[in-house]
Structure 1
Amino acid sequence: MFRDAWDQRLTQARAMALSYEREVARVEKQISGLLDRIVEATTSTVMGAFERKIKVLERSKLVLEEKRQNAGRSRGTFEEMFELAFEFIANPSKLWSSGNPAHQKLVLKLAFADHLVYDPIQGFRTPKKSLPFNMLGGFMMPISKMAEGMGLTSNLLHSKFYQPARLGTFLL
């Protein structure tokens, strides 16, 4: 499943690189067209306008070329990235305890699906965990057992005086 997602992202990155390449070719064609028009222009005002437009197109061409170069490049192999991701999931506090504010912000973004909610009276509310932590939560949580809410004798006395709709059980 993870390998398929990795391969799909690589395919998307290659497609984006081709798209950037086509965009660079289109911008180069526009620049050459403007250069031809500068040669034909007679007034300095028109030439200046064409030169400004060429500067803008040259900048966008540089940006597109940089994006094209970075789009197809992988930061590592699938195995390296997989190991790095699961090392984080196994112990996010290791990255948090580095003390680096950028790392701590990254941990918050990766561990929680939304911003942490703080109530001035009750404190922090229960956060929404991100998908990896939700998926792995069942595997990493200790086994919980069902226990009765009160002792057996207490339940009998309680049911005589109070007619509850149902006696529930609680998770430890």
Structure 2
Amino acid sequence: MNKIPEAINKRILDDIKKRLNPDFKYILAKLLAIHTLTTIITLAVCPQFGFQVIKTSLNLMHYFMQFGQHFCDFACGAFFTTISCLIALFIISRDELRAIRHHKVILTSAILLVSIGFFSIMNTQLFFELSFLWILGASTGAMLVLELGTKIRLTKSIFHR
């Protein structure tokens, strides 16, 4: 029986280890890139804090406001992060999803902080407009999608890559 050379064996084991334990910084960068791109879509249909990237006839904020300011704050925040996380579920690899399940609070916090930073740069009055309900909606939306979506994708063979 032929023995596998040590260098090849080490390379295979290193590759398996790398796949099973993806780099957290890489996952964070990938999520932030996805969030940045989906922000354009999200802001086109639901302006956040008066900031709208592309003017469209569809304006979810108008529909959300029919249920009151508090609902609108919560729903806009949830919509903002939910779209990013949903799209990420289809782009990110299964191994990265496993890692995300264990770090979803940190990743959600990073997405929220980057988003709030962006809005602060674009709107200096954000401090007065930023609502606890928007933050609650944004974090709830992201956490629910990441939790439920990773469970579904990791357990259903339809989504396996």
If the length of structure 2 is used for normalisation, what is the TM-score? 0.26
Higher strand proportion? 1
- Max Rg structure: 1
Higher relative contact order by CA 8 Å / sep ≥ 6: 1 or 2? 2
Higher helix proportion? 2
